[in-house]
């Protein structure tokens, strides 16, 4: 039966990949998007029902929504304003409407690449989550999950897709803030609450670099065009432009760079909301250019922050000849600018944009223009935020939101480490060991699985392999705190005691399998075991499945993710089973039924995750204790449910699920024949 089901599964896999995208995705178009906002193609009215037409605004990425001739609001595509990455490392492209009162009129996800949503959690949950933002003011403080801040508005997390929810909420709120401030519907905040560090110590050039005070933008001749610039006599990797830039309001930076007098004078000229910007240049070209002399405007550099743009005029400029900081190199050119108009928020990231131009050898004054951008954020040693960081890493927020769950899972797994570290006590009493084991199985299933969804999966092995091939991303692994903790636990215990500590005691689905089998026994159902010849071959099947999944995943991650649903974990812990397609239900029911009459059939023959753990577990440092006599005695062999004890009495670490019953026997002078004999000898001698 298991084999028939497996074959059907493998046949179904290609079909699964061709399944239509979930309902929401179909409706919103799940293909990657080209170009910007287009209300002929994009459903603008769905996020701004009050508008009957939409008109472009010159030079802006958003459109005006009109009812007749009256302006009712604006619509914008988030990816035109912010770059916030989700779990997949790609942004969630969201269409958002904002009315003239600064209230969000609607939001819809047009495209995303979030794997969790595509394969397990219903798409509708994301759309429901997005809908929660409609009706909020664009300048409200929105917190996903719980918050102790009485002024914050909270929205419920999407369980199992924490990072996706955090990224989507931040995408919506940051987009409407930028849009609302640009159109005047939301008051422009002068800066994120915070302050420049006021200490007067003087830093050397090296200390400034070590603290990350400067942003840097380098442009090579090759970046400017294949042949370089003959006029400036640079080519290939030679520097066309090398720009260093920072905000110098903090005395730590300003006094160090400008010297006390120049700094004091420059600061005395600033009006509220204005900031000092230092720009230094090396390379063949110039960031100042000569145009400003004629037009009064520095047209080669500007700062941008969201939709805000800071341009520099000659009245904002002071020539910066040399730097005071000890060890500072000589720069070809330097400028001290004043960023006016309150447009620059020093508490958030900003970009320096350089517009490079070179003669293109087409004759006359014909030039070639290229634009380059570098993002910078002032370090904490220069600017300290007074409240929560609006750009805090999403994974940090996920850990904050789940601190109670992290504590519960952390204590649970640590206690399990203690059970194995203190195995002399654990295995000293067979009856106590059984009760302890059953208790851990119930906890793993009920709390770890049903309540916390802390079920590791082979998809994390696939992501791990993918990261090794395609580039490591810590944020991805840290973004699911409970799974991250589980994997740290798995890595440690597997190398010390083998995969059985996780599989035999802590895996929520494994626990369900074993508890189901115990229930079958309680109900006195018949029990089945495969004949040895079949068992010894079939136990390698899971390795083949794992290898196949890795191959498929590297070839097509989407297909790999769906094929990984051979693990029935999502149907068990993430999604209500009755809401799933028939083949997921059939697979789940078949495995559950089989588990009633056979000990852990999925774990022993199919589970690719178990296979992935069994490989490093082969090298475990310590397994259950054995003695020479074990090769003759079959007491433990008969009671070892996973059939992990070989005919010679040794233990196969890949099969052992660390129930530790054989070690309890090994210690028991009522069970283990050499100990029984020794005890009897002792008793006889005593008599």
Q: In what order do the strands lie in the sheet with 239-247?
A: 215-220, 239-247, 275-282, 333-339, 317-319
- For 401, counting Cβ atoms within 10 Å of its Cβ (0-12 exposed, 13-18 middle, 19+ buried), the class is buried
Minimum Å gap between C-beta 456 and ligand SF4 is 7
Q: In the complex with ligand SF4, which residue's Cβ is closer, 103 or 603?
A: 603
Give 242 or 655: the residue with its C-beta nearer to ligand SF4: 655
Nearer to ligand SF4, 175 or 486 (CB): 486
**CA nearest neighbour of 172 among 206, 210, 126:** 126
Residue 361 has a CB neighbour count (10 Å cut-off) of 12
Distance CA 564, CA 570 (A): 10
- The CA angle 259-260-266, to the nearest 5 degrees, is 90
Residues 6+ away with beta carbon under 8 Å from 566: 9, 545, 549, 587, 606, 608
Residue closer to ligand SF4 by CB (options 138, 500) is 500
Q: Break the chain down into helix, strand, coil percent, rounded to 5.
A: 45, 15, 35
Least separation in angstroms between residue 447's CB and ligand SF4 is: 16
Q: How far is the CB of 164 from ligand SF4 (least distance, A)?
A: 25
- Residue 34 Cα to chain centre, angstroms: 25
User: What is the rounded CA–CA span in Å between residue 204 and residue 208?
Assistant: 6
Closest CA relative to residue 285, chosen from 367, 216, 221, 361: 221
Distances from the Cα of 486 to the Cα of 185, 302, 460, 481, 493, angstroms = 46, 47, 11, 9, 11
Pick between residue 2 and residue 253 the one whose CB is nearest to ligand SF4: 2
**How many other C-beta atoms can be found within 10 angstroms of the C-beta atom of residue 316?**
19
* Selection from 211, 207, 231 nearest residue 221 by Cα: 231
Minimum separation from the CB atom of position 434 to ligand SF4 (A): 11
Smallest separation (angstroms) from ligand SF4 to the CB of 119: 18
Closest of 200, 195, 277 to residue 243, by C-alpha: 277
DSSP result, 119-147? HTS-HHHHHHHHHTTTT-BTTS-EEES--
Q: Shortest gap between Cβ of 552 and ligand SF4 (angstroms)?
A: 19
What span, in angstroms and rounded, lies between the C-alpha atoms of 173 and 283? 40
Helices (H), 541-651: 541-555, 557-563, 569, 582-597, 601, 608-617, 635-639
Name the residue nearer to ligand SF4 (CB basis): 510 or 557. 510
Instruction: State the nearest-atom distance from the C-beta of 535 to ligand SF4, in Å.
Output: 14
Taking the complex as a whole, the smallest distance from the CB of residue 580 to ligand SF4 amounts, in Å, to 18
324/652 with CB nearer ligand SF4: 652
**Which is nearer to ligand SF4, 141 or 667 (by Cβ)?**
667
CB of 25 to ligand SF4, least distance (A): 29
CB 431 to ligand SF4: min, Å: 15
Nearer to ligand SF4 by C-beta: 401 or 571?
A: 571
The stretches of 359-402 forming alpha helices (DSSP H) are: 394-401
What residue is closest to ligand SF4 based on CB?
510
Nearest CB to ligand SF4, comparing residues 416 and 640:
640
Closest approach, Cβ 34 to ligand SF4, in A, equals 42
Nearest approach, Cβ of 671 to ligand SF4 (angstroms)? 12
Q: How far apart are CA 526 and CA 596, in angstroms?
A: 9
What is the per-residue DSSP string for 576-587? -GGGS-HHHHHH
Q: Is 221 or 444 the residue whose CB approaches ligand SF4 more closely? A: 444
DSSP 151: T
Q: Which residues bind ligand SF4 (CB under 6 A)?
A: 500, 503, 507, 509-510, 602-603, 607, 609-610, 624, 636, 640, 642, 644-645, 651, 656-662
């Amino acid at each position: 039966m298991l084999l028939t089901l497996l074959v059907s599964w493998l046949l179904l896999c290609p079909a699964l990949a061709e399944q239509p995208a979930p309902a929401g995705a179909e409706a919103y178009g799940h293909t990657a998007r080209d170009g910007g906002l287009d209300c002929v193609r994009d459903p603008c009215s769905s996020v701004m029902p009050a508008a009957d037409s939409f008109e472009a605004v010159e030079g802006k990425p958003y459109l005006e929504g009109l009812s007749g001739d009256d302006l009712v609001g604006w619509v914008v595509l988030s990816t035109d304003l912010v770059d916030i990455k989700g779990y997949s490392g790609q942004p969630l492209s969201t269409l958002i409407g904002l009315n003239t009162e600064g209230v969000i009129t609607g939001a819809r996800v047009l495209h995303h690449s979030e794997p969790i949503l595509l394969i397990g959690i219903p798409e509708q949950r994301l759309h429901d989550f997005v809908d929660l933002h409609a009706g909020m003011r664009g300048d409200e403080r929105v917190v996903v999950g719980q918050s102790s801040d009485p002024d914050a508005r909270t929205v419920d997390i999407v369980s199992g897709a924490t990072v996706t929810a955090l990224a989507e909420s931040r995408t919506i709120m940051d987009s409407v803030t930028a849009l609302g401030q640009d159109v005047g519907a939301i008051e422009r905040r002068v800066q994120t609450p915070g302050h420049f560090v006021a200490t007067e110590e003087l830093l050397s050039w090296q200390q400034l670099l070590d603290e990350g005070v400067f942003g840097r933008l380098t442009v090579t001749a090759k970046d400017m065009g294949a042949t370089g610039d003959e006029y400036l006599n640079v080519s290939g990797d030679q520097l066309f432009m090398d720009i260093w830039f920072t905000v110098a309001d903090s005395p730590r930076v300003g006094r160090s760079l400008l010297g006390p007098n120049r700094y004091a004078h420059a600061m005395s000229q600033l009006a509220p909301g204005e900031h000092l910007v230092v720009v230094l240049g090396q390379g063949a070209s110039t960031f100042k250019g000569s145009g400003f002399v004629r037009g009064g405007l520095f047209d080669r550099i500007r700062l941008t922050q969201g939709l805000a743009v800071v341009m520099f005029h000659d009245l904002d400029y002071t020539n910066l000849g040399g730097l005071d900081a000890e060890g500072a190199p000589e720069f070809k050119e330097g400028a001290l600018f004043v960023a006016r108009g309150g447009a620059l928020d020093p508490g958030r990231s900003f970009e320096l944009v350089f517009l490079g131009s070179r003669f293109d050898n087409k004759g006359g004054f014909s030039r070639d223009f290229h634009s380059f951008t570098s993002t910078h954020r002032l370090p904490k040693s220069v600017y300290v935020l007074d409240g929560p960081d609006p750009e805090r890493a999403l994974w940090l927020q996920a850990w904050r939101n789940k601190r109670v769950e992290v504590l519960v899972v952390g204590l649970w797994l640590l206690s399990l480490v203690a059970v194995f570290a203190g195995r002399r006590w654990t295995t000293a009493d067979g009856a106590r060991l059984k009760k302890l084991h059953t208790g851990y199985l119930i906890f793993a299933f009920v709390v770890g699985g049903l309540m916390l969804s802390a079920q590791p999966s082979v998809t994390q092995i696939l992501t791990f392999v993918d990261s090794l091939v395609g580039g490591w991303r810590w944020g991805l692994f840290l973004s699911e705190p409970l799974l991250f903790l589980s994997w740290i636990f798995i890595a440690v215990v597997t190398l010390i005691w083998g995969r059985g500590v996780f599989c035999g005691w802590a895996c929520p689905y494994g626990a369900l399998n074993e508890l189901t089998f115990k229930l079958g026994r309680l109900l006195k159902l018949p029990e089945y075991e495969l004949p040895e010849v079949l068992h010894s071959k079939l136990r390698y099947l899971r390795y083949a499945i794992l290898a196949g999944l890795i191959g498929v995943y590297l070839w097509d991650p989407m297909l790999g993710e769906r094929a990984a649903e051979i693990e029935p974990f999502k149907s068990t812990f993430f999604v209500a089973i009755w809401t799933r397609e028939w083949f997921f239900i059939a697979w789940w029911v078949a495995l559950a039924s089989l588990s009633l009459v056979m000990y852990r059939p999925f774990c022993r023959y199919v589970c690719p995750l178990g296979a992935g753990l069994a490989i490093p577990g082969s090298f475990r440092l310590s397994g259950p204790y054995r003695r020479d006599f074990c090769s003759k005695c079959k007491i433990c062999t008969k009671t070892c449910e996973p059939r992990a004890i070989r005919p010679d009495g040794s233990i196969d670490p890949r099969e052992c699920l660390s129930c530790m019953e054989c070690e309890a026997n090994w210690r028991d002078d009522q069970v283990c024949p050499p100990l029984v004999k020794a005890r009897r000898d002792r008793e006889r001698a005593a008599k």
